[in-house]
Amino acid sequence: MATDLRELTPADRLLSVLDQGLKAISGVPGNVAHTGRPVPAPPGGSSGPAPGSPEARHAAALMRVNHAGEVAAQALYHGQALVARDPAVRTFMLDAAREEGDHLDWCKARLTALGSHPSRLDPLWYAGSLGIGALAGLAGDRVSLGFITETERQVEGHIEEHLARLPAEDAASRAVLEQMRRDEIAHGANARARGASELPGPIRRLMRATARVMTASAYWI
């Protein structure tokens, strides 16, 4: 069972975050803290396109992008929790990270079923996102919560785009993305309810540009 950051000293929290990072980029399901929810399944239990087919390769590339996003989400939430001032905000970050841990496992399960692999750039996504999360947290809890609100807003749009691009026969990946979308909407709403501040336009645009680099790279690598 993963160590709860709420029970640790600041130095121990840092070590725990680094441990979670190694687990997140290992690609082994169940390594990171998670709630244990089962992989969402579509009605009828469709398995999706056959591995090796063009449809499977395209679906896998999309799910690789989503998996990379969940690696980044682990880093963002843990970086923010590491420096959160309010214990209640830290608890919210860690609870959300556990749900994102479910997403990480679900995306990995779909990649395996489709005969593919996670992004080979996952260590880069984790390291960069951990730094961004810590910087957002150091700016204050309201700014940190605002960062979550904007991140989840952009992730929601990104998932909707992928739902439109998935092969019609990949109902299994669709079920995963639809549940992920519901969770991301809830995370953003909960952050707003806790007093999230609206981020400046330049910061939002920079976040979108950074996300485009990650999605374009993870699709292929």
- Tens of pLDDT, residue by residue over 93-152, are 999 999 999 999 999 999 999 999 999 999 999 999 999 999 999 999 999 999 999 999
Q: Please state the separation of Cα 176 from the chain's center in Å.
A: 13
Residue with tokens 């959160």: 84
Minimal CA–CA distance to 82: which of 135, 31, 123, 24?
Answer: 135
Per-residue model confidence as pLDDT tens digits over 172-200: 999 999 999 999 999 999 999 999 999 99
Q: Using N-to-C axis directions, what is the helix angle for 54-83 and 171-193, rounded to 10°?
A: 20
Class of CATH domain 51-220: mainly alpha
Domain boundaries, the chain: 51-220
Average pLDDT, the chain: 88
